[in-house]
Amino acid sequence: MSTKVTGWPARRGWISALALVGSVVVASPGQAATEYFGGGYMYAWSDGCAAIGWTGTHQILARWAPQATPENSWNTSHITLLLPTGTISFGFDTSQQRREFQPLPTTPSYVWNDVWTPSNPRMQIIIGEAPNPWQDQTRMVFGLTNFSESDNCEMRVVLTMSKL
């Protein structure tokens, strides 16, 4: 026994199919966030860092989302430092005065054995060499006082990053 199809599919089916094809053709991906990824090193600038186990030079990876660029915050850059033993993520304002310590506008988050976000953060940043968010590659140099929320520990960070 055979079945013969003699009619066209229902009008509603065709309209749905055309709408689906039209949405796929017309849809375009949204503008991606501006991000940089790279690496560098950090080192203890003060003797107080040894008390919390930070001595010598440490290789690090970094991810930076610069402020006032497509899909990013207009007043806060975000950076994540991937250290050999853990991760620190925080925000800062790259439009402020250079070579002056400034409090971080967002609370840093630390990830070692667990996530830790201090309720009263003291870590501050001083930007030495400002990054350029409009180039494909950029360099960033900054210092962190009260590193890891520890008194008397100041670290220096030197990064070279490329736009993703």
pLDDT tens digits, one per residue of 46-66: 999 999 888 999 999 999 888
pLDDT at 26 over 50: no
Domain assignment of residue 77, yes or no: yes
Question: For the chain, where are the alpha helices, taking DSSP H only?
Answer: 11-26
Domain assignment of residue 24, yes or no: no
pLDDT at 31 over 60: no
pLDDT band at 10 (very low <50, low <70, confident <90, very high): low
Residues in the chain: 164
pTM equals 0.70
Range of the domain at 65: 36-163
Distances (CA, A) of 26 to 19, 22, 29: 10, 6, 10
Domain assignment of residue 16, yes or no: no
More confident residue, 76 or 104: 76
Domain assignment of residue 21, yes or no: no
Domain assignment of residue 81, yes or no: yes
Q: Which amino acid is at 126?
A: I
Query: In this structure, what are the phi and psi dihedrals at residue 42, rounded to the nearest 5 degrees?
Result: -135, 150
Domain assignment of residue 122, yes or no: yes
Q: Is 100 helix (H, G, I), strand (E, B) or coil?
A: coil
Domains held by the chain: number:
1
Tell me which residue has tokens 């310590």: 101
Domain assignment of residue 26, yes or no: no
Domain assignment of residue 128, yes or no: yes
pLDDT in tens, 83-121: 988 999 988 777 665 556 666 666 788 898 888 887 766
Dihedral Cα 4, 10, 16, 20, nearest 10 deg:
30
Question: Are 36 and 138 a contacting pair, CB within 8 Å?
Answer: yes
Given the DSSP bridges, would you call strands 124-129 and 57-65 parallel, antiparallel or unpaired?
A: unpaired
